[in-house]
Every structure is written in structure tokens, then in C-alpha cells.
Structure 1
Amino acid sequence: MDNNNRIIENMANPHELESMFRKEPEAFKKSFSDAWEQYPESQVLAAWYERLHFKETANTEKASLLQKDFLSMGLLAILAGISSRVIFHFTEQQIIAPINLVFGILPFIAAYFVSNNTPKKNVLYTLASLFLISGVYLNMLPLEHKDSVILAYIHLPIFLWVVLGLAFTGNEYGKGRTRLAYLKFNGEFCILYASMAISGMLLTVLTMQLFRFVGMDISEFYFKNVVLFGAAALAIVATYLISRNLKLSKHIAPYIARIFSPLVLTTLLVYLVTVIWVGKNPFLDRNFLLSFNGILLSVLAVTIFSITESGTDEKKNISDYINFALIVLALIIDSVALSAIVFRLSSYGITPNRVAVLGVNLLIWANLIWIMLSYMRFLQNKTGPSTIQDAVTTYLPVYGLWAAFVTFTFPLVFN
């Protein structure tokens, strides 16, 4: 009696079928098709059919999905590269401002997010409208180096970054966990993009040197047509790799956060002691006040990166105390900066730069207070780490609103 007949004979004997499969799995699979053709109505054989073919079907579906994602990534990367090159051409002709280069990258990253997680129509319309309005408004501004226009240029990418977050979160834009995922994506994106950019720079240096050996200087051509295209396309590639759960960036990000937090804390403490020692005064020294604000933004970025990479572990460790110390230090820096800005406003009058710096410092001060209080409750075992993450994610739209306010109103108010 051949193996096919044994399968049919033992359709009512699951133990024997399992034994046959384990002894000779390949022979079982080959002969199963004949039995399935003769008895397609058998529930037992139907269950075995799914068992034998499910993995193959799943892999086929997964492969087709990966292929679709890869093709969409490739198309968007090419479009981003071409768009950036075209925009750069017009900036060279001084027809449009260089800040327009953000429209060669961010809309295509948003398109990739939307293609992988299609949101509702109202979200799609909002995204398209915000990008369109921003682009039109930006190019209506005069190409002048006025403070209000420069502030609009600086704040526009911040506003578009929040808009990009809407594309990432999709229909779940109101949920803290999706906003936290967006912040994590940004940290992993920076790590991965920087790694690939360094490789690109090495390739550029090698290419330049090779052509110099034959007496050709291709630096200008290479920058305009290869480096610029590659830098824009690489942003889409990095987005694709992170969305595919690339383990490199996900595994390295928490370690970078743990390493950089104590280093930043130590460096800042030494710096502040040195500043006090040499008698630098942010109330009178404008450049020092600007550097103070730069330090504040850096500390805030490092702190948020550390919080987003800390996970949901209820156990406290040394990283939590370092993060808390960083927040307190940032709050001290921000309080000093706020005092200096108010002093300069009252002494020297209102300017768009002073109003913009005052506004962003007030926003950061309020955010730091919220994060600090949440951290205090966590360290006192009154809440979990989710409250700290909520203090970070819930506040994100506020920065977007302020950036939009500066971008769209300052050039009109301070004209």
C-alpha cells in the first residue's frame, strides 16, 4: 500500500497522520496532493492543506508587499532627487529662496507614510492643503534679508516637521503612542541617515580624487547632479529602511541615548561653571544669549531623545536620574535666557527676533516644567514612565502652532 492510500485510510486518525508526516515530511507533502484531489470536501485534509501551504502563502504575500513598498520607495526617492535638483536650479537663479529645498524632501516622505498607512480623506486633504499653502505663501515673501522673513524661513521647517508627524500618525494623530513612535522614528532616522551620509561623503571624496588623477575637476557638476540628488533620495531610503524595522538603528538608538546623556550633562556643568568664572553676561552679550538658547535647544533634544528611547520599563535606573538632572539644568538655562530676553525687550524695544526668541523660550519653559513634574512623580513611584512620555508627545502640536504663527504672521506684522 503506497503512502497516498495510507493518508486516505488514516483520515480519521490524526495521530497516525502526524506520525507519517514527521517520519517522511517530503514524501507526505508530495503524495498529499493526490489525496486532496480525491477528497477535497474532507475537513481533515482541508486542515492539513492549510498547514502545509499557509507558510508559503504568507511568504508570497509578504514578498509582494515588500516588493510594492520597495517600488514606491524607489519612485519617491527618484522624484525627491529630481525635485531637489530643479528647486536648487531656481535658487541658483535667485528666483526662489533656498529654504524651498525642504519641499524636495518632506512632501515625499509624507507621501511614503500615506502610501503605507492610508488615512481618512480629511487627513489627506489637510496634509495636501498645508503643504500647498506653505509652498505658495513662502514664495510670496520678498527675497529680502529682513528679520521677519528670515524667522519665517527658520520656523517653516519646524511647522512642516509637525505636519509630517500628521502623515506618520495618520488616523491616530491624537494618540500618544503614535506620536511617541514618530519621535522614535526621528531619532532612528538621524542615526541611519548620518551613517549613510558618511559613506556617501567617502564615496564623493574617492570619486573627486579619481577624476583629479586624470586632470578633471568635476566637483561643481558632481555636487549639483549627484550629491544633491543623493542627499534627497537618501532621506526616502532611510525612511523605508526604518519602516521595515531595520534592527541596526533600533538597537543602537537606546545605547546612544544612554551614552550621550551623561556626556552632555557633564559638558554642560563644566561649561556653565566656566561661564560664571569668566563673567559672561547673557543680559548684555547678544551673541552669548544666542549661544545660550542653542545650548537649551540641544539639551531639550537630547533629553527628549533619551525619554523616547527609555521604553516602558517601570524600574528606575541611573539614566532616569541623569535625564532628570538634564531637565533641571535645561530649566535653569531657560529661566536665565527668559530673564535676559525680557531685559533686552524692556531696554532696547521690540524686534521680531526678540519676540520670536521670547515665545519659543516660554513654550520650552512650560514644556520643561511639565516634564520635570512628571519625572518627579515617576521617581517618587507615584506614576509610570508613560506620564513622562505623555508630557513630551502631548506638547508637540504646540511647537507646530508657534512655528506656524511665526512663519505666517511675522512677515506681515513686522513688514
Structure 2
Amino acid sequence: MDNNNLIIEYMDNPHELERMYRKDPKAFKKSLSHARELNPDSPVLGVWYERLYFKEMANTEKSSLFQKGFLIMGLLAILAGISTRIIFYFVSQEAIAPINLAFGIIPFIAAYFVYNNTPRKSVIYSLIVLFLISGVYLNFLPLNDKDSTILAYLHLPLFLWGVVGLAFTGNDYSKGSARLAYIKFNLEYGILYACMAASGMVLALLTMRLFSFVGLDIEDFYFSNVILFGAAALAVVAAYLVSMNLKLAKNMTPYLAKIFSPIVLATLVVYLITVIGVGKNPFLDRNFLIAFNGILLGVLAVTIFSIIESDSERKKNISDYINVILIVLALIIDSVALSAIVFRLSSYGITPNRLAVLGVNLLIWANLIWIMKPYIRFLQDKSGPSIIQDAVTKYLPVYGIWAAFVIFTFPIIFK
């Protein structure tokens, strides 16, 4: 009796099938397919087939998806490079504002997310409308150096970040888990793109140096036609690689979170002590107030970075206490900054810059309070760590709304 018949004979004897498999796995696997063809409705043979062939089937499916996804990514990367090069031409002619370069890259990253996780038509239409409205509106603004126009340009990346977030989350845009995944994507994306960009810069410098040895200065040509194209295309490639669960960035981010939090805390404490020692006054020194706000944004970013990289099922540890101290220090800095901004508004009047800084500081102050309340409850063992991550994700749309408000109202209010 051959193996095919033996498998069929012992279909109802799991112990004997297991014995046959262990005795000669290759022969058993070879015979299983034939036995299953003769008995396609057998659940036992179905289970064995899935057990032995699942990895191969998964790899085949993954390979197919990889090839298709790779081609789409390649096409979008090329389109991003070409679009950016065309936009750069008009920027160099001073026909449009430099911020338009963002539209040569970001829509193609959003397009890849839509392809990778196709959402409802309403989400796709919303993305198209948001990109079109923002792009058309910004190019109707006069090309000048007015503060309100510059503020609109500065807030555009934040607004587009929110639009890309909608493309990334798709139908799950209202779910905290999807928003959390988007923040993690940004961290991994930033690390990966920085690594690839650094490698590209080394290659570019080496290339230009080699040409200089033969008396050719290709710097302008190389920047306009190679570096610019490559930087734009690489942005789409990096999004693809992170979406494919590249392990490099994923393995680095938790360690970076643990390393940077205590370093930032120590640096911040030393800095604040030094500031008090030298008697710097943010109420009178505008540049110092700007630096204060930069520190505030950095602390907020590091805190969020550390929170989202923490295990949502873990118990409290030293990192949590460091994060809470960072939040408290950030609140102190923000309170001082808010007082200084209010003082400057009352003393020197309302300007678009002062109003924008006031709005950002109020948003960050509220965000820090929003995060600190569940954090304290967690440290008091009154809740789990997941509510801290929920606090981070629920507040994210507020920044996008504020960015939209500045972009679409400040140039009109402060003409």
C-alpha cells in the first residue's frame, strides 16, 4: 500500500498521521496533495494541507503583492520626481512660492496609501478636494513677504500632514489605533528617510568631487536634475518600505524613545537653571521667546514619541516618571511663554505672528494637560496605559484644524 492510500486509510486517526509525518516528512508532504485531490472535502486533510503549505502560499501571495505594490510605488516615485522638478523650475523663475514643492511629493505619498488600503469613495473625494483647495488657494496669495502670507506657508506642511494622515488611516480615520499607527509610521519614516538621504548626500558629494577632478562643475545641474528628483522619489520609496514593515526603523524607534527621554530631561533642567542664572527675560527678548517655543515643541515631540513607543499593556516604569516630569517642565515653559506673549500683545499690539504664536502655545498647553491627566491616573494605578495613547491620538486633529485656520484666514484678516 503506497503513502497516498495510507494517508486516506488513516484520515480518521490523527495519531497515525502524525507518526507517518514524523517518520518521513518529505514523502508525507508529497503524498498529501494527491490524497487531498481524491478527498477534497476532508477537513483533516485540509488542516494538514494548510499546516504544511501555508508558508509557501503566504510567500507566493506576498511575492505577488510585492511585485504589484513595487510597480505602483515605482511609478508614483517617478511621478513625484518629475512633478517636483517641474515645480522647481517655476519656483526658480519666481512665478510661484517655494512651498509649492510640497505638492510635488505629498500627494503621491497619499496616493500610495490610497492604493495600499483603498478607502471609501467619500474619503478619496475628500483627499482630492483638500489637495486642490489648498494648492489653488495658496497660489492665489500674492508673492510677498507679509507675515500673514509667510504664516500660511509655514502652516501648510502641518495641514498636509493631516491630509496624508486621512489617506493613511482611510476608513478608520476616527479610530485611535489607526491614528497611533500613523504617528508610529511618521517616526519610522523619518528615521529611514534620514538614513537614505544621508547616503544620497555622500553619493552626491562624491559624484561632484569626481567631476571636479576633470574640470567640470556640475553642481547646479546635479542639484536641479538629480538631487531634487532623487529626494522627491525617495520620499515615496521610504513610505513604501515602512509600509512593508521594514525592520530597520521598527527596531530602532523603541530604543531611541528610551534613550532620548532622559537625555532631553537632563538637558532641559540644566538649560533652565542656566537661564535663571544669566537672567534672560522672555518678556523683553523676542529671540529668546522664540527659542523657548522651540524647546517646548521639542519636549512635546519627545514626550509623544516616548508614549507611543511604549507597550499599551505594560506596567509603570521609570520612563513614565521621566515623561511626567518632562510634561510638567513643558507646562512651566509654556506658561511662561504664554505670559510673555500676552505681555507683548498688550504692550505692542496685535500682529499675525504674535497671534499665531499665542494660538500654538495655547494648543500645546491644552495638549500637555490632556496627556498629563491620564498619565497621573496611570501612575496612581487607577487606569491602564492605553488611555495615555488615546489622549495623544484624540488631540491630533486639533493641530490640523488650527493649521487650516491660519492658512485660510490670516491672509484675509491681516491684508
In structure 1, the residue matched to 2:266 is 266
SS of the equivalent of 2:140 reads coil
Aligned to 1:331: 331
Written as runs of structure 1 = structure 2, the 5 A alignment for 1:13-412 is: 13-32=13-32, 35=35, 48-412=48-412
Distance in 1, matches of 2:130 and 2:328, equals 36
Q: Could you report, residue by residue, the CA deviation over 1:154-195 in whole angstroms, capped at 9, with x for unpaired residues?
A: 011111111111111111111111111111111111111111
Tell me how far apart the structure 1 counterparts of residues 313 and 45 of structure 2 sit (CA, whole Å). 46
Contact residue 185 and residue 242 of structure 2 kept, 8 A: yes
Deviations 1:117-153 (A, max 9, x none): 1111111111111011000001111110100000000
Q: C-alpha separation between the residues in 1 aligned to 2:12 and 2:314?
A: 51
- Cα offset for 1:32? 4.8
Question: 1:403: how far off?
Answer: 0.5
Q: 2:313 touches 2:386 (CA, 8 Å); kept in 1? A: no
Alpha-carbon distance in structure 2 between the residues aligned to 1:172 and 1:11: 44
Per mean C-alpha deviation after superposition, the further-off stretch among 31-40 and 266-275 is 31-40
Letter in 1 for 2:347: S
Partner AA of 1:344 in structure 2: R
Identity score, percent: 75
Question: What SS does the aligned partner of 1:139 have?
Answer: helix
Deviation, 1:216, is 1.4
Structure-2 change in CA distance of 1:127 and 1:23 (3 Å): same
**Distance of 2:42 and 2:53 partners within structure 1:** 16
Structure 2 CA distance for partners of 1:6 and 1:323, relative to 1, 3 Å = closer
Label 1:41 to 1:75 Cα distance change in 2 as closer, same or farther (>3 A): same
What is the distance in 2 between the residues matched to 1:42 and 1:289?
Answer: 74
Aligned length in residues: 415
What amino acid does structure 1 have at the position aligned with 2:181? A
Q: Any idea what the Cα deviations from partners look like across 1:35-83, whole Å, max 9, x if unmatched?
A: 5566667666565555554443332212111222211211111111111
**Residue 405 of structure 1: CA displacement?**
0.4
CA shift in 2, pair 1:304/1:217, >3 Å:
same
| 8 Å CA contact retained: 2:106, 2:160 | yes
The one-letter code of the counterpart of 1:189 is Y
Measure, in 1, the Cα distance between the counterparts of 2:187 and 2:214. 42
Consecutive unaligned residues in structure 1, runs of 5 or more: none
Q: 1:341 to 1:61 in 2, by over 3 A?
A: same
Structure 1 position 231, deviation (Å): 1.1
Q: CA deviation at 1:402?
A: 0.7
- Distance 1:274-1:64 versus aligned 2 partners, 3 A rule: same
Give 1:24 shift.
2.6
For residues 35 and 380 of structure 1, what CA distance do their matches in structure 2 show?
Answer: 61
- CA positional deviation for 1:99: 0.4
Tell which deviates more after alignment, 248-257 or 405-414. Answer: 248-257
1:344-403 deviation line (CA, Å, top 9, x unaligned):
111111111111111111111111112122221111111221222122111111111110
Aligned equivalents of 2:277, 2:266: Cα separation in 1? 17
Inter-partner Cα distance in structure 2 for 1:398 and 1:41: 55
Structure 1 residue 275, shift from structure 2 partner: 1.5
TM-score by length of 2: 0.94
Change (3 A) 1:19 1:227: same
Q: Matches of 2:368 and 2:204 in 1, distance apart? A: 42
Report deviation, 1:3. Answer: 4.0
Give the Å deviation of 1:233.
1.3
Offset at 1:92?
0.4
Q: Using the TM superposition, give the Cα deviation of residue 34 of structure 1 relative to its aligned residue in structure 2, in angstroms.
A: 5.2
Seen in structure 2, the aligned counterparts of structure 1 residues 9 and 96 have a Cα distance that, compared at 3 Å, is same
Q: Which amino acid aligns with 2:390?
A: D
The 1:316–1:6 alpha-carbon spacing in structure 2 relative to 1, beyond 3 Å, is: closer
Query: Deviation per CA, 1:186-230, whole angstroms, max 9, x where unpaired?
Result: 111111111111111111121112111222111111111111111
Deviation at 1:295, TM superposition (A): 1.2
Letter in 2 for 1:329: L
Q: Distance in 2 between matches of 1:104 and 1:115?
A: 18
Cα distance, 1:24–1:273 mapped onto 2, change above 3 Å: same
Amino acid of the residue matched to residue 348 of structure 2?
Y
Alignment partners' CA distance in 2, 1:94 and 1:334: 38
Counterpart CA distance in 1 for 2:102 and 2:113 is: 17
Shift in CA distance, 37/180, structure 1 to aligned 2, threshold 3 Å: closer
The normalised TM-score by structure 1 is 0.94
